[in-house]
Amino acid sequence: MSRLPNILLLAVTLLVGACNIATPAMYILEGPPSNDAQFTLPDRKTVVFVDDQKNSLTRTQLRSMIGDKVAGDLMENKLVTETIATRDAVAVARKDDSVSKLTAISEIGEKVGAEVVIYVRMGKFELAEPGGTPIPHASAVVKVIDVTNRTRLFPSDPEDPGREVFTQMRELSMDMYNTSPGRRQIEDLTATELGNRIAKLFYKHEKNELGKGIGVRK
């Protein structure tokens, strides 16, 4: 009887084993898969302005929490040297906005002494999926504005409404939903995670395996 089939079987077995060893080896050599920065921020005095025209956020403090998380992550990654508190920009907008006219983003930046505004327009901010599944999720649209020149830096296409960012938490225990402190904790976690996702637009990071009209700021 020919030994050829046995030799072929041994060769295939060794090849499969080699592939199983090579894959993690390549991962170690090349590092984990990553996403590149979508835009390189200029290192100028920056403020993150979180705009919540739809009142998606249950507390005003969450706007500061999102913005300060973005600013903190950018400074930690040495992308910007100096930032201005989000609450200062929010205060200007609340003071100067009117029902018929919203303050321009560049004007808000100018009034707080910023040279660059990372503008975050809130979309959804929900503590559960439709139907009640306890999975918090949030979204926002992001733009970067040059205050000095009153131009948009990112996205560069003036017709682009902004870069959408989404985050979805893992399913949480229903016990957290049963008390006010628990719900506040969920809100804080979701706001912080959204801020983290926004900041990641501007620096390389590991992949996570797991229109014009009334009320639109210019």
Enumerate the domain spans of the chain: 4-31, 35-206
At 89 the pLDDT is 97
Q: For the chain, how many helices (H) and strands (E)?
A: 5, 8
Please say whether the beta carbons of 198 and 73 come within 8 A.
Answer: no
Please say whether the beta carbons of 68 and 90 come within 8 A.
Answer: no
**pTM (whole model) above 0.75:** yes
At 5 the pLDDT is 52
**Tokens encoding 214:** 């009334």
Q: What is the DSSP letter of 64?
A: H
Query: What's the burial of 28, exposed, middle or buried (CB within 10 Å: 0-12/13-18/19+)?
Result: exposed
CA 169 to chain CA centroid, nearest Å: 13
At 41 the pLDDT is 97
Positions of the chain with pLDDT under 50: 1-4, 8-16, 18, 23, 26, 209-216
3-state secondary structure of 94: helix
At 151 the pLDDT is 95
At 208 the pLDDT is 64
Please say whether the beta carbons of 34 and 206 come within 8 A.
Answer: yes
Domain 35-206, classified CATH 3.40.50.720, yes or no: no
- Count Cβ neighbours within 10 Å for each residue of 122-137 and write b for 16 or more, e otherwise: bbebebbeeeeebebb
49-80 pLDDT per residue, tens: 999 999 999 999 999 999 999 999 999 999 99
At 36 the pLDDT is 85
At 29 the pLDDT is 57
Query: What's the burial of 112, exposed, middle or buried (CB within 10 Å: 0-12/13-18/19+)?
Result: buried
**Tokens encoding 164:** 């959408």
